[in-house]
Amino acid sequence: MKEEYIMLKKQKKLIALIFSISLIGVTVYGNVEFLKGQIFAETSEESSISEIRKTSSAERNKLEKTLVTELEKSQIPSQQVERITKEATEDGWVVGKYTDFIEEGGNKISWKYGEAWSYTYNNNTWIYGDGNAIGAALIVNDNFLPGTNELVWGGGFFWANQAESVYAKNPTTNTLSRSFAYKNFQITIFQQLLDDGAVEVSYQVTNKTSVAQKIGVSQKVNILDRTPIRVLNDFKGLNIAQSSLALVPDPETMPNWSVGNNGKLNNFVGYDPKTVNGVGWESGKRQPDSSADLKENKPMSIGNADVVMKNPGVMVQPDESTIFKQIVKLGRMVPPTVTLDQKSGEMYKNERVKITGTIFDSNNHNYRLYLEMDDPDKTLIPLKDFKNVPYQEVQPYEASIEAEHFTIGEHMVSIIGIDEYGTSSVAQKISITKKGINGTPLIQKVAIGESIQTDITKLFENIIGNEPKLKSVSPVDSTTVGFQWADAVLIDADLKEESFKIPVTVYDTKTTTFNDLDNIVLDVKDTALTMSELTTAIQENRLNELILQKSEAEAWQTENGEAVTIEVMSQNVKSQFGQYEATIKAIRKDTNKVHTKKSV
């Protein structure tokens, strides 16, 4: 969209013409004022973070032909006569006034008190306090200007300088603009009513200082509705379904946004870190002070919520401009329409079910096809994106449902479409059956010199599948005490196979003990120590180390073989006789559960 603005300068000169006419002996004198003025209008192309357009004085001098337009009596008194360039007129712009509005399909844009941009649906606002609880402020060189912030009512530029504002209207593009001087800057606020009923709001800021400035914007609004909010596709904004509201900061020119309780997001508190360069919910994390992942299109309760958005700033040269954008959609939410050709599907592990159907939207150009799972959270899995699609144009789709998302068994899931404003289609149900073999491997104990058993019911529990059987189990090396994994393969009637790892402990009946409740195994050998060994170890204060070394103590978790901590819990040494008795303790690192065994 091409952004345009009109800057009007007024010059008034009084020419008094005095003349006298004598009629029937009575002289009547009258003074007539003629207004002469000249208004220069400038138009500028859309600016972005990476490209800033400069309007030079030479360009302004080209605007010679003007069209005089008399303002209505309701206009600000100082703006009695306005002129607008023919070039601007040909682009659709006309002189405006603070009472201007544009309304289509129930959506209306206007100027609230001649200052703030205002957007309603059927005369209903989306902002708390009759639409007043919104504000915006400039960020200059990483800080708010002295004495300003984005707090509502006068903290920033949002409600500033109505008296000297210049208004314009473009009926062709359904756009209103307000331009005004603000401190050392010129600000133009554009609001354009889009064809889907949303409004695109832009803040264009021109640097009127003599040096380059890093210029950004921060905006805060207290939303009216208290119902749960949802994060839009790709974390690009938020949706409140109950009030049919969507807020979408432009990811290029307003990249950071966040949500929090009213009054707790002042300055940069809504971001992480809490500075001008902090990131917000666009990161996929529930900032600030939380690393929790956000879930697209899933409701969350905030209560009395503020929404903040910002651009930390871009470098702007003198007399050049930059722009910051957002889209707000209120009402007229029309969901996509989705069809699905399949009613059911079956698959094994590493397989997929192909689905086909159509999707279209009569009020949105961008939407996404999702698989909605049957878990308690109704997890959404993206299947396919549709971008810049004309209204009502039916899009055929083909997508795959992957087996990795399912457990073995039957599942009733849905295919849905969600547009960029968070509006969801009617769910299309499909029954998915994941077939396969499954079971829970059981801990195996194999004595020295013995073999692992081959009874499927002793190797597994909770076995499911189509007539599953044990195809094979790998042998274990039972010559040494320790932990091993055995490989087992199950096969079903469809000749589908599934591999499993079975935990195996090889043990010695004389040295190995088990704590089956806490899954700890401890192997400690009895060993004799000489009087010399005991005496030396005591003198060197390493008796415990010697006991662990000589007893060859080792311990592990029976379910996975992970090592556990081993300590000498107590000892009773009679060095003069070369005798000792010690209690060895094994401690699980995850649960701190303990298993002990004596060594003599």
pLDDT one-digit tens code per residue, 52-64: 333 333 333 333 3
Query: Is a pLDDT exceeding 60 seen at residue 141?
Result: yes
Task: Report d(CA 95, CA 169) in Å as an integer.
Answer: 6
What per-residue confidence (pLDDT) applies to 526?
85
pLDDT bucket at 21, cuts 50 / 70 / 90: very low
pLDDT digits (tens, 9 = 90+) for 228-260: 999 999 999 999 988 899 999 999 999 999 999
Burial per residue of 275-299, b for 16 or more beta-carbon CB atoms within 10 angstroms, e otherwise? ebebbbbbbebbbbeeeeebbbbee
Domain-wise residue ranges, the chain:
97-330, 337-434, 438-507, 512-599
Indicate left, alpha or beta for 113 from its phi (over 0: left) and psi (-120 to 50: alpha).
left
539 SS3 class: helix
> How many H helices and E strands in the chain?
6, 41
Task: Give the model's confidence band at 149: pLDDT under 50 very low, under 70 low, under 90 confident, else very high.
Answer: confident
- What is the CB neighbour count within 10 angstroms for residue 576? 9
What was the pLDDT predicted at 574? 65
Tokens coding 532: 């010399």
Spatial distance between the Cα atoms of 435 and 348, rounded to a whole number of angstroms: 5
**pLDDT for 510-558, tens place per residue?**
999 999 999 999 999 987 777 788 888 888 888 888 888 888 999 999 9
Fold match between domain 97-330 and domain 337-434: no
CATH topology for 438-507? Immunoglobulin-like (2.60.40)
Q: Helices 531-539 and 543-551 meet at what angle, rounded to 10?
A: 140
Output the pLDDT for position 38: 31
Q: Cα-flanking dihedrals φ and ψ of residue 330, to 5°?
A: -130, 120
pLDDT band at 577; cut points 50, 70, 90? low
Q: What is the pLDDT of residues 182-231, one digit of tens each?
A: 999 999 999 999 999 999 999 999 999 999 999 999 999 999 887 799 99
Relative to beta strand 428-434, strand 344-347 is parallel
Tokens describing residue 132: 């007043």
Kindly indicate the confidence band of residue 126, based on its pLDDT and cuts at 50, 70 and 90.
very high
Spatial contact of 134 and 189, defined as CB atoms under 8 Å apart: no
Does the pLDDT value for residue 290 go beyond 80? Answer: no
Cis peptide before 146 (omega within 30 of 0): no
Q: Could you give the CA distance from residue 1 to residue 88 in angstroms, rounded to a whole number?
A: 16
Q: What is the pLDDT of residues 420-471, one digit of tens each?
A: 999 999 999 999 999 999 999 999 999 999 999 999 999 999 999 999 999 9
**How far is 348 from 346, CA to CA, in rounded Å?**
7
| Distance, CA of 398 to CA of 357 (rounded, Å) | 7
Residue found by looking up tokens 């094979």 in the block = 472
In this structure, are residues 338 and 361 in contact, taking their beta carbons and an 8 Å threshold?
A: no
Half-sphere exposure of 241 (CA within 13 A, CB side): 16
Please give the Cα distance from 474 to 489 (Å, whole number): 9
Q: What pLDDT sits at residue 81?
A: 28
> What's the gap between Cα 400 and its chain centre?
25
Q: Which residue has the higher pLDDT, 149 or 112?
A: 112
551-577: average pLDDT: 87
- Res 150: pLDDT: 64
396 in Cβ contact with 338 (< 8 Å): no
Q: What is the DSSP secondary structure assignment for residue 57, as one 8-state letter?
A: H
Helix segments in 153-225, DSSP class H = none
Q: Please report where in the chains the tokens 């005095």 appear, as a residue.
A: 18
Q: Which of 2.20.25, 2.60.40, 2.70.98, 3.30.1360 would CATH assign to domain 97-330?
A: 2.70.98
C-beta of residue 347 within 8 angstroms of C-beta of residue 496: no
SS3 201: strand
Collapsed DSSP state (helix, strand, coil) of residue 75: coil
CA distance 89 to 43: 11
* CATH classification (class only), 337-434: mainly beta
Evaluate if residue 1 carries a pLDDT over 80. no
H or E segment to which residue 533 belongs: helix 531-539
Mean pLDDT (the chain) is: 84
567: phi then psi, degrees, rounded to nearest 5: -140, 160
Write the single-letter amino acid at 547.
Answer: I
Question: pLDDT: is 46 or 450 the higher one?
Answer: 450
Distances in whole angstroms, Cα of residue 313 to Cα of each of 4, 210, 224, 323: 22, 18, 29, 10
Tell me the per-residue pLDDT of 279-289, one tens digit each, with 9 for 90 and over: 999 999 988 87
Q: Is the pLDDT of residue 344 over 60?
A: yes
Alpha carbons 307 and 311: distance in angstroms, whole number: 14
Q: Tell me the pTM.
A: 0.70
Under DSSP, the state recorded for 283 is: G
The percent of residues in the chain predicted with pLDDT above 70, rounded, is 83
